[in-house]
Structure 1
Amino acid sequence: MSQKLLVIDTDCGIDDAQAILVALAATHVRVLAATCVFGNASVDDVCQNVLKVFEVAQREQFFTQEIPVFRGSAGPLLGTTASAHDHFGTDGLGDVLENRAPRWEEKIQKEHAVNAMLRLVAENPKQVTLVALGPLTNLALAVKMDPSFPGKLKELYIMGGNMEGKGNVSLCAEFNFAMDPEAAYLVLEEYLCPTYLATYEYACKNVLSWEFFEELTSQDTAASRFMKTITSRCWAFSPEIRNKQRGGYFEPGFVSYDSYAVAACVDADVVAESVRCPVRVELQGTVCRGMMVLDRVGRLNKQHSVTVFTKCHKDKLAQMLLKSVGHPSGSPHAGKETP
């Protein structure tokens, strides 16, 4: 199998860290770069988090790449810098790591993330898959700097948005889109390349069990110990939260949001069902701003459709997550899922 070239655009929080490990563990994938954006934490914290994930991954046999890290957008396209969400702690990795990346500024490339994105794709036309795991600000700036940029991509995978108007930071909007609605709108209007979305509801409807999470974070590997550490004091993984409905809508369970997008990118067979239709991000109103709507009846009169995932093969996802922490597949809990 020929190598799949990825650029990962990330606001590296705990789920991004897991998702990046999934990409690095795939033998047929080559990660060309990580481009950083604000979101789960400030962009400076995100840069340090990505470097830390790469450091951890280098202790595992599957990771031998040297991957450049680029600093990108520190805030949304419009208005003041959005306040970072503390779902994963103020630093994005659970506020438990000391000295995450010593002298980290020296390890970040001088080139801006958006310029690097444009350059890498121009150097590999129609070969690069762009995976967006945070607010879409860098992607929006890229298409404004070079309107031909989306046409040079092989494909685009996005973790973000919603398909049923169920939000997690507002009544109707998912976090990544809510942090920069204008960017999300621009990307879904102007990126006409093949586009695939792992939405908030998709992840929440395909949860894994907390028993599986315990197995994932209890392996005798550097990556597993790292994931256990950064989730150890995070309220989102606490016993008090585990048995509660997610967002008031969904069954309890373990959800590594960004891993759903990366898993689909790495192995399309992870996706069991999807729908294909035009979409649009709402920019008006106090209730629906940032919400993504699916047009299944042609009211938007758009020519471009995207693929929105609806159901995944959770056993395959579980096996990929185990592999990402250096554990072979075939675990007794790999396919054990919350009903």
Structure 2
Amino acid sequence: MCKTLLGLLFFSASFAMAQTPRLVIVDQDGSGPGGSNQMAMMVLLQSPQARVLGITMVSGNAWEPEEVQHTLRMLELIHRTDVPVVPGAVFPLVRNREETLLWEKRYGTVPWLGAWGDAAKHSGSSPWHEPMVVPKLAEGEPTTKPLAEDAAHFLVRQVRAHPHQVTVYAAGPLTNIALAIAIDPEFAALTQGIVIMGGSLNPVSTEAEFTTDPRHEFNFWFDPEAAHIVLRAHWPRIDLTTVDISIKAMFTEAMLKEIASSPNPAAQYIAHYSEDRYFLWDELAAAAWLDPKIITGERQLYLDVDLSRGATYGDTLAWTADNKPELDLQLVHAQIDLDLPRFTKLFVELMRRPAKAAQ
């Protein structure tokens, strides 16, 4: 065989590998319509680099049953109903609303309670409603249905079907992931790794949520036991988008205007339903997985979560290799700085793209 033909075959094989989408399962607390949760899922759904095997839902910013409906409707509106939505954990492993409200009386209130919100007591939280109640959706009711399987078993099944090929993208409380680990002790090791939006180290911020409690972060705080289990599992790699870096990436009016000028379905969904101009917490985690060059600074640390049930219950714990305790802790790539123009460009471009063909 001539050298030219060998070269062409090698180039063709390399090009095909480069074009093969990376497999990912999205685990998200999908409050909506619009907003950071929905837009973060759309980053991966819109990217030609990613093949989303499914979206597993978990309570966090809102209750899981409501999130399922918002996410089904989002997929309809952006023409991606080929992606299954899988119901997940409605409640954290241990923490509950009643104990948390009592905890606040002793240790002080937190600015954001998510699904446990009470508008009368927390002006920044969502109005309270019962977990299984799904209020009328502003964007219209979905006609599609969720998968008849629970999130934890779906996660295990997909990872077992594609060993060492699937990345788990976890941008809400980590309850579903912890349950998958409990079902299958080899689950974490059989993935390519996990991308987490969670944890806080020392953010430079005037936000009330972080100025007096810099180690507090909602996803870890909402289900500390789940975060503890996930951070201790033996993943091939753990990438963590911390509060420290998230607060450097704001969704601006200029970004919204540029996105809204596109006639494509994802852009129009954002134009109609993304009213908040706030930090792009989850979107940054997704974009950095697609393009690691977005991250310009990280700390390699050993992390855990405080389970003491006292004032710091749910706070992020961190050590270096020199001072970590003699426990089976895992190395975490904690992101702390970014190339903001690079991230902004990628995010806007993805949101403006035409609907991606079903995979």
Give the TM-score category using the shorter length. Answer: 0.7 to 0.9
1:156 is paired with a residue whose SS is strand
Residues 129 and 157 of structure 1 are in contact (CA less than 8 Å); yes or no, is this contact kept in structure 2? Answer: yes
- 1:141 is the counterpart of 2:179: yes
- Equivalent residues in 2 for 1:16-95, closer than 5 Å: 16-58=37-79, 66-80=82-96, 84=115
Residue number in structure 1 paired with 2:316: 292
Residue number in structure 1 paired with 2:250: 207
For 2:156 and 2:171, the matched residues in 1 are separated by 18
For 1:168 and 1:100, the matched residues in 2 are separated by 33
Deviation of residue 146 (structure 1)? 1.1
For 1:97 and 1:45, the matched residues in 2 are separated by 12
Q: CA 1:120–1:205 in 2, change beyond 3 Å: closer, same or farther? A: same
Deviation of residue 186 (structure 1)? 1.0
- One-letter amino acid of the structure 1 residue matched with residue 352 of structure 2: G
Q: Which of 286, 295, 300 pairs up with 1:276? A: 300
Residue number in structure 2 paired with 1:231: 274
Q: Which of 249, 255, 264 pairs up with 2:279? A: 255
For 1:205 and 1:29, the matched residues in 2 are separated by 25
For 1:279 and 1:130, the matched residues in 2 are separated by 18
- 1:315 is the counterpart of 2:341: yes
2:317 is paired with a residue whose SS is strand
Deviation of residue 230 (structure 1)? 2.1
- One-letter amino acid of the structure 2 residue matched with residue 40 of structure 1: N
Residues 95 and 230 of structure 1 are in contact (CA less than 8 Å); yes or no, is this contact kept in structure 2? Answer: no
Deviation of residue 9 (structure 1)? 0.4
Residues 299 and 335 of structure 2 are in contact (CA less than 8 Å); yes or no, is this contact kept in structure 1? Answer: yes
Q: CA 1:216–1:287 in 2, change beyond 3 Å: closer, same or farther? A: farther
- 1:101 is the counterpart of 2:142: yes
- Equivalent residues in 2 for 1:157-196, closer than 5 Å: 157-164=195-202, 168=209, 171=213, 172-196=215-239
For 1:325 and 1:205, the matched residues in 2 are separated by 20
Residue number in structure 1 paired with 2:3: none
For 1:291 and 1:164, the matched residues in 2 are separated by 12
Q: Deviations over 1:272-308 (max 9, x none)?
A: 1111111111112533211112212423235521100
- 1:113 is the counterpart of 2:151: yes
Deviation of residue 322 (structure 1)? 1.3
- One-letter amino acid of the structure 2 residue matched with residue 262 of structure 1: A
Residues 70 and 111 of structure 1 are in contact (CA less than 8 Å); yes or no, is this contact kept in structure 2? Answer: yes
Residues 22 and 320 of structure 1 are in contact (CA less than 8 Å); yes or no, is this contact kept in structure 2? Answer: no
For 2:255 and 2:36, the matched residues in 1 are separated by 15
For 1:178 and 1:95, the matched residues in 2 are separated by 28
Greater C-alpha Rg:
2
Residue number in structure 2 paired with 1:153: 191
For 1:325 and 1:55, the matched residues in 2 are separated by 16
Residues 25 and 323 of structure 1 are in contact (CA less than 8 Å); yes or no, is this contact kept in structure 2? Answer: no
- One-letter amino acid of the structure 1 residue matched with residue 195 of structure 2: Y
1:223 is paired with a residue whose SS is helix
For 2:89 and 2:150, the matched residues in 1 are separated by 9
Deviation of residue 76 (structure 1)? 0.4
Deviation of residue 156 (structure 1)? 0.3
Residues 168 and 175 of structure 1 are in contact (CA less than 8 Å); yes or no, is this contact kept in structure 2? Answer: no
Residues 53 and 84 of structure 2 are in contact (CA less than 8 Å); yes or no, is this contact kept in structure 1? Answer: yes
Q: CA 1:89–1:55 in 2, change beyond 3 Å: closer, same or farther? A: farther
Residues 115 and 126 of structure 2 are in contact (CA less than 8 Å); yes or no, is this contact kept in structure 1? Answer: no
2:155 is paired with a residue whose SS is helix
RMSD between aligned residues: 2.7
Structure 1: stretches of 5+ with no match in the other structure: 238-253, 329-339
Aligned residues: 300
Name the TM-score, length of structure 1 as normaliser. 0.80
Residues 259 and 352 of structure 2 are in contact (CA less than 8 Å); yes or no, is this contact kept in structure 1? Answer: no
Name the TM-score, length of structure 2 as normaliser. 0.76
For 1:263 and 1:73, the matched residues in 2 are separated by 25
For 1:18 and 1:3, the matched residues in 2 are separated by 20
- One-letter amino acid of the structure 2 residue matched with residue 309 of structure 1: Q
Q: Deviations over 1:15-50 (max 9, x none)?
A: 121111111121121100111111111111111121
Residues 278 and 300 of structure 1 are in contact (CA less than 8 Å); yes or no, is this contact kept in structure 2? Answer: no
Deviation of residue 269 (structure 1)? 1.4
